[in-house]
Amino acid sequence: MTSFPLPLAELLGHYGSYMIYLLVGLAFGATLETAGFGNSKKLAAQFYFKDLTVFKVMFTAIIVACVLIFLSSAVGLLDYNLVWVPPTYLWPGIVGGLIMGAGFIVGGFCPGTSLVAMATGKIDGVFFVLGVLTGIFLFGESVSNFAVFFESSYMGRFTLPELFGVSYGAVVVAVVAMALLMFWGAEAIEARVGGPTAQKAPRLAVPAAGGLLVLALAVMLIGQPDNADRWNMIADEQLAMLDERAVQIEPAELLDVIHNAQIKAVLLDVRDERHYNQFHVHGARRLSPEEVINSARELILEPANTVFVTMSNDETAATEAWRALKAESVPNVYILDGGVNNWIRTYSDEAFVDEHLIRGRDNDQPAYRFDAAIGARHPAAEPNPEAFEIEFEPKVKLELKRAPTSGGCG
């Protein structure tokens, strides 16, 4: 079972986790200052091609992190699904990047480096931070005027492998190779523009670059774990829960969850479209078996109080969907005990149950006959909880949400 990212709040408590964040922030700031990034003149020199240290340091950090993240994921040490990847809003992102770039050129800092400059007592850093805070305030006060554009062209967690239709390993190799070529180009430009003052690459630059490229190739050769690999990592623990029926919740508990104002219930119906159209629980979202895995990353981004319940006619297909979602690290996933058939049996009147029962049916097939495709218009699709007083053994327990819900920029 994967160990990272670590659930710091669970391991160290609320204040303990904040101490870790503080130490990481201090180390990051110290690194920026050591690299000279608290000096606006050094930062601005990159735009004149005299000193490309910023470009080289930042790209080095990017490709080293890229290789280590996907190498750790490839060998099963890291769950990449739990790593925060900012969702893509294409056009707002482009406009925002241009605005930030213009501010970088004019002010000589980005937000992170301006804080480093301010912390070391530089006046220009103080004024830049004040400008950042003013801009944040003005943005917050005016964003409603252009909210449609601000939330437009949403593409979700969209990365280069999805864009080009290739593996993560191939992208890692391509990004590392591209960065190394750009480093070589940056050195040539500095030597030409900067002249005698240009800094030369350290002795270890070439072997370090070669070693990084070798690791990138290893990432491509090993490959990233698929859903089956992920399931094998957690199979022993999760199969025990299945056998103990610790994740199969009764219709009465599901109805209680649906009407619990403190819980967001997401019902995932994995039956054929024909069966779904004949009858489904009100609010249930239909997913084909192929869509279950693809939807996992979207489901992970739901609020921490979200409970996911898979359902099929009985339990077979719902259990397969549950396994796939658990393998993709989706938290708080349960199975409707007895499936939709049990739901209909529980919340339909006795006359309907007796008259429409299908005898001799196959496993995970509808147990009741409907004369038309009525979807969620049947009374049992949205039962009144006050009309049914059914005792049940509560099984839903909200797990700690390990996936971060936001990220930041240094």
- What would the pLDDT profile of 44-63 be if each residue is shown by its tens digit? 888 888 888 888 888 999 99
**Domain membership flag for residue 392:** no
Cβ-based neighbours of 125, under 8 Å, separated by 6 or more: 38, 40, 109, 113, 114, 115, 116, 117, 118, 119
Phi and psi, residue 217, nearest 5°: -65, -35
Same domain membership, residue 274 and residue 133: no
**Domain membership flag for residue 3:** no
How far is Cα 19 from Cα 11, in angstroms, rounded to an integer?
Answer: 12
Same domain membership, residue 219 and residue 233: no
Return the pLDDT at 407.
54
Least confident of 195-199, 343-347, 373-377: 195-199
Question: What range does the domain containing 309 cover?
Answer: 229-387
117 Rama sector, left if φ>0, alpha if ψ -120 to 50, beta otherwise: alpha
Same domain membership, residue 126 and residue 51: yes
Taking residues 378-386, report their average pLDDT. Answer: 93
Band (pLDDT 50/70/90 cuts) for residue 152 is: very high
Question: Can you list the positions of beta strands (E) in 54-162?
Answer: 88-89, 154-156
Identify the DSSP state of 197: G
Same domain membership, residue 180 and residue 66: yes
Same domain membership, residue 142 and residue 32: yes
Return the pLDDT at 11.
81
Neighbours of 241 (CB within 10 A): 14
pTM, two decimal places? 0.81
Residue 3 pLDDT > 70, yes or no? no
Q: Which among 198, 227, 256 is the end of a domain?
A: 227
**Domain membership flag for residue 408:** no
Residue 147 pLDDT > 90, yes or no? yes
How far is Cα 74 from Cα 218, in angstroms, rounded to an integer?
Answer: 9
Same domain membership, residue 276 and residue 299: yes
Same domain membership, residue 161 and residue 31: yes
Return the pLDDT at 409.
53
Q: What is the CATH number of the domain that holds 327?
A: 3.40.250.10
Return the pLDDT at 297.
83
Same domain membership, residue 291 and residue 248: yes
pLDDT in tens, 210-239: 999 999 999 999 999 999 999 999 999 999
Cβ-based neighbours of 176, under 8 Å, separated by 6 or more: 63, 66, 67, 212, 213, 216
How far is Cα 2 from Cα 8, in angstroms, rounded to an integer?
Answer: 15
Taking residues 4-29, report their average pLDDT. Answer: 86
Which residues are bridge partners to 154 per DSSP?
89
How far is Cα 159 from Cα 157, in angstroms, rounded to an integer?
Answer: 6
Same domain membership, residue 274 and residue 222: no
Same domain membership, residue 260 and residue 216: no
**Domain membership flag for residue 170:** yes
**Domain membership flag for residue 409:** no
**Domain membership flag for residue 121:** yes
Q: Please give the residue that has the higher pLDDT: either 3 or 310.
A: 310
Residue type, 309: V
Return the pLDDT at 238.
93
Band (pLDDT 50/70/90 cuts) for residue 402 is: low
**Domain membership flag for residue 328:** yes
Band (pLDDT 50/70/90 cuts) for residue 72 is: very high
Question: Can you list the positions of beta strands (E) in 259-342?
Answer: 264-269, 285-286, 306-311, 333-336
Same domain membership, residue 220 and residue 250: no
How far is Cα 331 from Cα 82, in angstroms, rounded to an integer?
Answer: 11
Same domain membership, residue 235 and residue 223: no
Least confident of 119-123, 188-192, 316-320: 188-192
**Domain membership flag for residue 219:** yes
Q: Which among 203, 227, 251 is the end of a domain?
A: 227
Taking residues 322-343, report their average pLDDT. Answer: 96
Q: Report strand pairing: 248-249 vs 88-89.
A: unpaired
The CA-based dihedral angle spanning residues 241, 242, 245, 249, taken in that order and rounded to the nearest 10 degrees: 100
How far is Cα 259 from Cα 384, in angstroms, rounded to an integer?
Answer: 10
Which residues are bridge partners to 334 per DSSP?
309
Identify the DSSP state of 248: E
Structure tokens at 387: 């009309």
Query: Do 410 and 88 contact (CB within 8 A), yes or no?
Result: no
Q: Which among 165, 195, 227 is the end of a domain?
A: 227
How many structural domains does the chain have? 2
